Structure 1
């Protein structure tokens, strides 16, 4: 699971479910055992009352005087309570009213009790073994059996279980709700931190400003330190490169002046000028490459269409002698998480190439597809030659008749690599060149 809150909720729910199931099993077992014990105690008391009513008949056999029985249900038909007395041969010596025919019960030892719960029919049975000594001092073996219908016990157990599960389920639902609210309250600082980071990405604030709990405060301070370090490092790089470019201007200007002096042979001047121009272009390219910001985690998204339109306006003036028309297409809210300087460099090179090698119409489209943003530039010129991807290497040119040093596409490719993107060179619908750039969202 990607959600921390979902993980905590699921883990706590599993623990709560296991706890309530175990609690329900323990309570159910305890209630059943206590109810069974109460049932046994009740039947034992009935056996003692039957012993109190036991008498010896004229034949010297043991029987029970019905008038002395304390529980009158034994004398009522269909009362759910029955009793019987078996002799040592397993024959009935006495029965209560409406006693069910049954085989002789298990014979417990003298003075021992045997308690059973029977399923068919659902009843409780308690047997007690005794030895009766008559007046002639002749001991005889007997077994008292008391049977009671278990319908009331089963109904009571079902009612208890129904109530138990209802209240346990209600308690579980209440605890889960409380747990959800506690988790929501406990994770609120994380949501606030995420909101601040999103505000930084959108450029609405410069760093994390809220005070957070002790566990999150080091993280917030570390993120602020990372943001400041990244910005300061980028500024230092650009300032250093700017100083380097400024330092190179004077030596280059001196060399150009020397190249125009009369003591330099006329046939060497064009070669000297070309080499100085090449040095200038290579220096500019390397400076631009080193100054590329690259993909930044907390960078403010930039709208690329206004940048492309601004570059197009400038190129229309440069190529005023060509009937060039630009067409732009981009969603209203489309943004790229990139440095505006890098976008100027990249779009400037691509649009300049499109103007240089295209015929009249240049299409620029921005959009998103899957997990990538794309920039697609089409023209209606002659298109790329075979082995088009060789043009991504510095110094390789498609047309040696046009001015340039063949480093435009190479510079674009370096910027794209810095953003972990990719570039595709193909043919447009108009038959010209198509450059498609894919950058991570």
Structure 2
């Protein structure tokens, strides 16, 4: 389970279910024991009443006078209550109105009781052992057995169990609902924190400002410190790189000016100019590469369409002699999480290459699928060669006729790598080149 609330709810539900099952088992056992004890006490009282009605007949055997029996169910047929008297050889010497065919009764010791619940037929059986001394002082061993139909007990037990589980299920449902509400209330600060982080990612707020419980205060402070540190570090990088570029500009300009001095031999001027220009290109490339911000989770989303529009307007003027025409396709209100300078660098290189090597018709399409932000630049030029992926290496060019150092696509590739994205060089529907850049959402 990836949801913290689901994990807590599942764990608490399992504990609650185990508690209710254990509670039901304990209550069921207690009810059954108490009911059986009440049944036994009732049958014991019946045996005592039979003892009070016991007499010796003319043969000296023990019997029970029907008129002296206190519970009249014993003399009524199909009453569900029967009694019998057995001698020491387990022979039946007296019985009530009817007696069920049951296994031979146990012969408990004198003064001992034996209580059982028989399944077939469903009856309660209580036996009591006694010794009877007649007038001739001749002790004889007897056993009283009382049977009572257990159907009413089983119906009562089923009714109790049904109501018990019904009430326990209702209580469990109520407690689960309360538990869910308590968990929802307890995790509300976490949801609020997630919403604030999403707002920071969308650029709707700069930091986390909400009031949170003590357990989350350290986390929110750490997140705010990380956000501030990331932004300050990016600012320091940009400032340091700007200072470096400014510092290198003057020495390179001096070196280039020295190459124009008349006293410099002619055979040294061209190599000196070439090396100074090469140093300038390398410096620019490495500065752009180091300045790339890359993918940042908490970066403010920006709209790429206005950036692309500004670059197309500028390039339209630069390549006015070639009659370059741009077509920009982008959904309204489209935003993506990227650095403003990185997007300027990316669009600038892609569109400048399309102007240089295309036939004058360029289309820029910005879209989004399930996983990536997609930028496509199509032109109507000659297209890319078969080994097009080599163009992503610095210094490799497809056209050596136009000026340049071959670092445009390489710079784009470095930006795309910094955003953990992908770049694909393909053929457009016009037969020219197509560059597809996919940046993770």
* TM-score scaled by length of structure 2: 0.96
**Partners in 2 of 1:61 and 1:325 — Cα distance?**
130
**Partners in 2 of 1:88 and 1:270 — Cα distance?**
137
**Partners in 2 of 1:179 and 1:45 — Cα distance?**
50
Aligned length in residues:
441
**Partners in 1 of 2:63 and 2:375 — Cα distance?**
108
Across the aligned residues of Structure 1 and Structure 2, the Cα RMSD in angstroms comes to: 1.6
Deviation at 1:438, TM superposition (A): 1.8
Contact 1:91 1:104 in 2 (8 A): no
* CA deviation string 1:219-273 (max 9, x = no partner): 1111111111111111111111111111222223323333333333556545443
In structure 2, the partner of 1:371 is 371
Deviation at 1:11, TM superposition (A): 0.4
**Partners in 2 of 1:263 and 1:26 — Cα distance?**
110
Matched, 1:263 2:260: no
* CA deviation string 1:364-403 (max 9, x = no partner): 2222333222222222211111221111111111111011
Deviation at 1:127, TM superposition (A): 1.1
Matched, 1:395 2:415: no
**Partners in 1 of 2:74 and 2:328 — Cα distance?**
102
In structure 2, the partner of 1:278 is 278
Q: Secondary structure at the match of 1:109?
A: coil
**Partners in 1 of 2:101 and 2:247 — Cα distance?**
121
**Partners in 2 of 1:257 and 1:372 — Cα distance?**
48
In structure 1, the partner of 2:326 is 326
* CA deviation string 1:305-342 (max 9, x = no partner): 22112211111111112243322333334322110110
In structure 1, the partner of 2:202 is 202
Deviation at 1:128, TM superposition (A): 1.2
Q: Secondary structure at the match of 1:373?
A: strand
Contact 1:376 1:436 in 2 (8 A): yes
Contact 1:328 1:363 in 2 (8 A): yes
Deviation at 1:145, TM superposition (A): 0.9
Q: Which has the higher mean CA deviation after the structures are superposed, 60-69 or 136-145?
A: 136-145
* CA deviation string 1:135-182 (max 9, x = no partner): 112222211111111121111111211121111111111111111111
**Partners in 2 of 1:68 and 1:331 — Cα distance?**
104
In structure 1, the partner of 2:24 is 24
Gaps of 5+ in 1: none
In structure 2, the partner of 1:309 is 309
* CA deviation string 1:183-206 (max 9, x = no partner): 111111111111111111111111
In structure 2, the partner of 1:221 is 221
Matched, 1:339 2:339: yes
**Partners in 1 of 2:287 and 2:104 — Cα distance?**
109
Q: Which has the higher mean CA deviation after the structures are superposed, 91-100 or 415-424?
A: 91-100
In structure 1, the partner of 2:430 is 430
Q: Which has the higher mean CA deviation after the structures are superposed, 69-78 or 22-31?
A: 69-78
**Partners in 2 of 1:433 and 1:103 — Cα distance?**
100
Gaps of 5+ in 2: none
Q: Secondary structure at the match of 1:216?
A: helix
**Partners in 2 of 1:203 and 1:101 — Cα distance?**
89
Q: Which has the higher mean CA deviation after the structures are superposed, 373-382 or 46-55?
A: 373-382
**Partners in 2 of 1:254 and 1:2 — Cα distance?**
62
In structure 2, the partner of 1:162 is 162
